[in-house]
Amino acid sequence: MHNKFVIEALDQGLAEALINKIDLKTKPQGSLGQLESLACQIGQIQQTLEPEIRQPKMIVFAADHGIALEGVSAFPQEVTAQMVQNFVNGGAAVNVFCRQHGLDFEIVDVGVGQLLSEQGVQLCKVANGTKSFLNADAMSKAQCLQAIDVGAERVAQAAREGSNLLAFGEMGIANTASAAAIMAGCLGLDVSDCVGRGTGLDDQGLQHKTAVLQQAMQYHQGEYSAQQWLAKVGGFEIAAMVGAMLEAAHRRIVILVDGFICSAAALVASQINPLVTQYMIFCHQGAEHAHQRLLEALEAKPLLDLALRLGEGSGAVLAYPLVESALVFLKEMASFDSAGVSRERD
């Protein structure tokens, strides 16, 4: 168990002051809906009535998965390394959206089998991919802790550079299989309720993926902690995101959670320290039917529902302007008194 991530609960007294400030704006109470709760949450995280975003950054963690060799993905394993190169070149969806919305971008190799080039990549490789968890643990306990530390250190570095809002993304062929197994293990569900088409499996492919995962969960059956499940069936990039989320909450950094795989990391982080979710903004509900169930388990209210199933952190960046809007109304909207607007009658 990782004990170094001390996380403070958000201050409810400050929440009341923030709600009071929001309610004095020139609008009917509650009429900005989820934007109001966002403004309140970020104010609590930053411990101020005037929250602001500094140096927003997207960190994408990449790693390969041994389970990919069991044919559970529509894409071959070498796509992980090819996509890392695409990130470096600025050509992926997440790059395009980061440029559009002004987020810095970083790609971290936590366990890619064979990089095409090391240039432009943060090299933090734990191993050349996990083992297939069909009949072995994906990683050792030590490797799991090492990957968690990679994520924590990248967040610590971003904090040193002034970031107070971080989004996390992932790249790893077959990582939806890993996320499904983590979800099944941590929530005690049948894995068939947690598995989806990933990057686009057909019916036959989905059937095969489900059968492989059922066999794997049969092998790993037992009562385990979230961190043990992470080592048994997880990926290095998922473990890195767990560490990143815990470190971000420890440092009072706003966390933007992307899709199904990032939400699986959020689930593990929340079972290690339940307070971590107070620092999370769940950006969207993805096309994977299991993602909706996972968000319900996390008691999360996602901002968007766009049928996304790309990963990379793309959905988190798409939700970012809503976060900006939540803070801009809090800062710039007039109050009833300053605008000379009459309030509603009692």
Q: Cite the active site residues.
A: 312
| Joined tokens for residue 198 | 């990933």
Q: How far is CA 60 from CA 56, 129, 181, 209, 325, in A?
A: 13, 16, 21, 25, 24
Exposed, middle or buried: residue 54 (CB in 10 Å: 0-12, 13-18, 19+)?
A: exposed
Residue 265, phi then psi, degrees to nearest 5: -65, -40
Strands 254-257 and 104-111, sheet pairing: unpaired
Task: Give the number of residues written for the chain.
Answer: 346
In sequence order, what are the residues at sequence separation of 6 or more whose Cβ sits closer than 8 angstroms to the Cβ of residue 243?
2, 147, 148, 149, 150, 151, 152, 155
